[in-house]
Structure 1
Amino acid sequence: MHAFNLQPKTLNLAERLADMAVDALIDEADLSPKPALVDRRGNGAHTDLHLGLMHASALSLWPAFKEMADVAINIGEISLPLREAVGRIGREGELAMLDTTAGVNTHRGAIWALGLLVTAAALEPESTSAAAMTLRAARLALLDDRYAPRPLSHGAQVAQRFGARGAREEAQLGFPAVTQRALPQLKRSRADGHGEQNARLDALLAIMTQLVDTCVLYRAGEEGLDTMQLGAQAVLDAGGSASLAGRRRLHELDQQLIALNASPGGAADLLAACLFIDRVESGESFIQGAF
């Protein structure tokens, strides 16, 4: 059969959600210029990451996201069996990611955040507002996975040490950094005509102004966290990413965080969550799949 005669495959709900989760991760990675993060310019504050690795990692997670959506559709309700199935799939997805990246942690936090949101969207595809999805994700995150390993991640250790809110608590509260900061800023910047890339950068900065980013705390302590929060606010106060003054502030923040070896990976994970929610929420024909 001639290639031009091939008809595109109609994707089912789980496949479309997995596509959107991977797209959100790739869009986050490609977004430039992000302060001290991997982007199209370079590796930011990292020595073991690069853009191609971020893309490969994101693509490796597609089967896990699809399986999470499938199990949500099959179980059909927020319950301990669903929480434990999603936890198992997430851990298997993490192993696939680490196999792809030769052991480098590229998206561990994003697997948690996006996995919960993919599951939440699959549970009730007719109810995909940001508020509804994050509420379902929070209810699921509050359930205790009996099979989860107990050793604390770097983020959890830092959260415990500094009394900060880690990724787990952020999810259990319904992703307030996304719903209260990132999404409103994304929509404001779009409405002001700043362009999509600048609007996404502004959304990232809005997260950074208040998030107690455990990745930054782990790498640079409270000095790094203060630099991130105050610097991000300074960019927005100067007019945001679309203004010349804002771009100058953004460049200064990038240089300051790199000098401190402080990469806001937690904020990046939440930006990916924001982009996923925005994509799902704006899909007028989501149930029918007419994207």
Structure 2
Amino acid sequence: MRGSRQDETLAEAAVMALTRQLELAPKPGLPDPRDLRARATRQDHRSLRWSAKALAPGLAAMAAAARRTGRATPGLRAELGAIGRSTEHSVALAGGGHRGALWALGLLVAAAALEPGATGTEVTAAAKRIAAHTDRRAPRRPSRGSTVSATYGAAGARGEARAGFPHVRRALDALAATRSAGAPESCARLDALLTVMCTLQDTELLHTAGPHGLRHVQTGARAVLDAGGTSTEAGRAALAAFDGDLHARAWSPRGSGALLAGALFVDSLPVTVRA
């Protein structure tokens, strides 16, 4: 079995997870198949699905780097960062988007390559070990996310990774709970997304809406789950109201969407390598 095929299979699984997140509807404030004009996000669903494919070569390269290195080292962290920045450029040429998903999926794909056959918390623990190292080659200028994190004391994407992706783990628990109740898969995924929204300190929301807006989104997500979740009539009514509210405000909880994609990838493990 060739390592390159293993790496490509992990990358394909990650892109499929992102595609499944994009296909899910209705996603409050996030692009989905209904929203071709992309009122909140300024990127339509079709272009996002197309540009998601541009992540595959970079994700495969990240998996290859992790498999070659064999353990979470500062050198591996720096190499993943360099591949990620190159992939961002490729994705921008394909239409843009997915920066948060690339960060989460890149670390999780690398973690899965480090720990073949691992699932769930084993993968997020491996990702935590990688993220614990500083990317020595990263640009010194602060990103918008790091600036917002510093301003409001939010964990941000780096903090989420260094904590072992707690919101990915919560999403996995929500997927399992809703599935065990016999609900459709789409409801399990929506409930998982809302579970993330309830507690994530989304730096994109903090940038556009401030702490009040973040709390508003967290409260709205919790209201849907408290109503019984998206598999119930009351929950669906609460979801429709929440969705309309976020679109009207043009607030987009993009961090939650990226972490749901990460959870769907981890949920798909272990993946089967095709000959």
Range into which the TM-score falls when normalised by the shorter chain: over 0.9
Equivalents in 2 of 1:271, 1:45: separation in Å? 21
TM-score of the aligned structures, taking structure 2 as reference length: 0.95
The residue number in structure 2 matching 1:41 is 34
The residue number in structure 2 matching 1:112 is 103
Number of residues of Structure 1 aligned to a counterpart in Structure 2: 272
**1:3-22 aligned within 5 A:** 12-22=5-15
RCO comparison, higher one (Cα < 8 Å, 6+): 2
**1:17-96 aligned within 5 A:** 17-42=10-35, 43=37, 45-46=39-40, 48-96=42-90
The residue number in structure 2 matching 1:139 is 129
Against the structure 1 CA distance between its residues 48 and 129, is the aligned structure 2 distance closer, same or farther, given a 3 Å change threshold? same
Note the C-alpha offset of 1:45.
Answer: 4.5
The residue number in structure 1 matching 2:187 is 198
Q: What code does the residue aligned with 1:98 have?
A: A
The residue number in structure 1 matching 2:260 is 271
Against the structure 1 CA distance between its residues 250 and 214, is the aligned structure 2 distance closer, same or farther, given a 3 Å change threshold? same
Equivalents in 2 of 1:212, 1:200: separation in Å? 20
The 3-state SS of whatever aligns with 1:88 is helix
Equivalents in 1 of 2:90, 2:157: separation in Å? 21
Equivalents in 2 of 1:46, 1:56: separation in Å? 19
Q: Deviations over 1:235-280 (max 9, x none)?
A: 0011111111111111111122223221000000000000000001
Equivalents in 2 of 1:55, 1:124: separation in Å? 29
Q: What code does the residue aligned with 2:251 have?
A: A
The residue number in structure 1 matching 2:220 is 231
The 3-state SS of whatever aligns with 1:61 is helix
Equivalents in 2 of 1:86, 1:163: separation in Å? 26
Per mean C-alpha deviation after superposition, the further-off stretch among 27-36 and 44-53 is 44-53
The residue number in structure 2 matching 1:163 is 153
Equivalents in 2 of 1:177, 1:150: separation in Å? 28
Equivalents in 1 of 2:17, 2:254: separation in Å? 15
Give me the CA root mean square deviation.
1.7
Note the C-alpha offset of 1:83.
Answer: 0.9
Q: What code does the residue aligned with 1:171 have?
A: A
The residue number in structure 1 matching 2:164 is 174
Equivalents in 2 of 1:125, 1:47: separation in Å? 36
Larger Rg: 1 or 2? 1
The 3-state SS of whatever aligns with 1:53 is helix
Note the C-alpha offset of 1:44.
Answer: 5.2
Equivalents in 2 of 1:124, 1:135: separation in Å? 10
Equivalents in 2 of 1:151, 1:192: separation in Å? 47
Extract structure 1 runs of 4+ deviating beyond 4 A. Answer: none
Structure 2 gap segments, 5+ residues each = none
Equivalents in 2 of 1:41, 1:64: separation in Å? 29
